[in-house]
Structure 1
């Protein structure tokens, strides 16, 4: 039974060998030029920073290198079953190129990518090419046995002695058969180890690209802070809900109960006064219902749960006193907590714009790209908005930070103001 199973594995193993050879060849040929180009551009960009030119080019070069590294991470997981974590710090979306470049150069992942480019164009190239060599080199031994040795040992090459295939000197038909025997041995080795050789390349990549313990410790510190902020925000929201219920709907319901009690006593003695109190109780019930609806909408709007973030933002824009234009490009839906955080962040930013900017027009853009939900809110107001300046943007930043999101504000004096929010997430 075991023998039959092993015999049945020959076909899949052979296909795996050929697949590993093809993928290794693609990696070796397709990755060497961008690795060399990225490394050279990175060094040139760094050298040009003192002149001011590198400040403009470095963010684009780093972005390209990160995209190249992320592509290799995806191939490592898809082709080799090797998962390589990514730990890039959020890049501030600021109009100041010095700030953006400084933030990128402070990120340890930037220099780790630079080291990986050096490894990828040397040892990485060799390990990627190894599966293809293991599979293709035996074919040369078989070709020598089929008569290629006559061509290789004739003419100018024959003046330098026999043609060497591995450690076998080929100078006649007998030695050509020896080359074929060596090729057969190499083919058996390729059949057994080609897939492992490709996985070796991805393990080398993981060894260089994996974040260090210091970076992981920093990551834990950030997560601890954002978790604390999330707990504080939740507690604050609960207190707000309790206060709104106590001061609003609860007070109206209590008053309505008292009115109905008075109606019971007056219904026979003074029917006219009883009717007036019933009308007042009806108005109180309507007001209490409206307040409860507003409260529920503030906790989680029904349109957000039913129709998603795009329609919820559109509904939010319709209630704005300022003309608001919304553009949404979302091919799917994010997780409910992410949608909720994004919705209330947009709501807070719009409230700030209406209260403080003096704008008469607002633009909202919602889209998903490169694994991130990106939302920008732009107004044509007077500008001057800043995080932590009492505008409520600090709370928005804390809300987004719970999901590893970032907030960037560009608001020069005189306007316009652009608030950009970005949350890493996948869409269903």
Structure 2
């Protein structure tokens, strides 16, 4: 026997070198796919943008040569007890479809609760969840192997018509890639929550505007009714024909009933004023921004605050002032998102005090306010947004709140961007004494 390296040893080293080369290739590819997924998540601006993000995910599977012929994502709500499946997304024949949870909800929840992946190499030999028929119906063909990967808010399912289709490296790569999928689902939840918050805020704005209009209308109508009632009383003192007296008495009675309704409406408006007290604007602003900071951060908007020290107190309704701050910041945010096409921007909120008044300034570096509409932005129902995307009540409500507090709201001209300012009078000594 001659010296030299055995043939089997050479082949073994060659295979090991090839496997290492493949691993390096896949790891580099995984980094690229994860970066593309992050960009897709940043690009999501509305709940309906989920399809593009999930398409990026499946493109990543294909780029990494994962032999999946179809996949589905079950989206869970882990905050409820027990966790519930919200919906599922199915990728088949090159497109994604959204549907309600399927008949496999129990097994999906079981896999998610286990926290570990489950690879079924051949469903003809081992189908512990009894799902082969359901999967074949869902994906429209034979399914022999499945890979279930749970993540923080759901379960990813990959299928193949071949038994043993997925290698250990495939499983490892998908387990890493699913972190990007978790970010997609997290962003989707965030957008849905934001949409719900915006809807609630719009309803509050509408109700606030209705309240303001009702109070103003009640005041004006009440003045007119006082004149009508006075004239009826004068007529009733006269010697009237019985038929005419009966008509006047009916008019007077109806007027008294209407006056009672107007009095209740005015009382409702005054009850808001009764809830006012001496408050620290810095505290209200800081609390309001805390509610908004995570939302705008995810939209690449830098939200900062510059609160002056030793700020005088103001007499105000805390909830209404916070509503103004949230409205003004949301207004800047909407302008930035529309103008920057997802590139974000900057919003700065400042408080200042001078000459017995305090002011809240909300400034952004967006497109600014066109001169053509500057005089209309505080009018009720005026909006520059598309139909269905705004009521046009936000700034009008803010101005009404400022005026009801003895202040005012206005827009300052800037060379770039926009700045809306609310000025309020400081609390009087009598209010401060009552507080102490």
Q: Point out the structure with the larger strand share.
A: 2
- Tell me if TM exceeds 0.5: no
| Greater RCO, CA 8 A, separation 6+ | 1
> Normalised by the size of structure 2, how large is the TM-score?
0.29
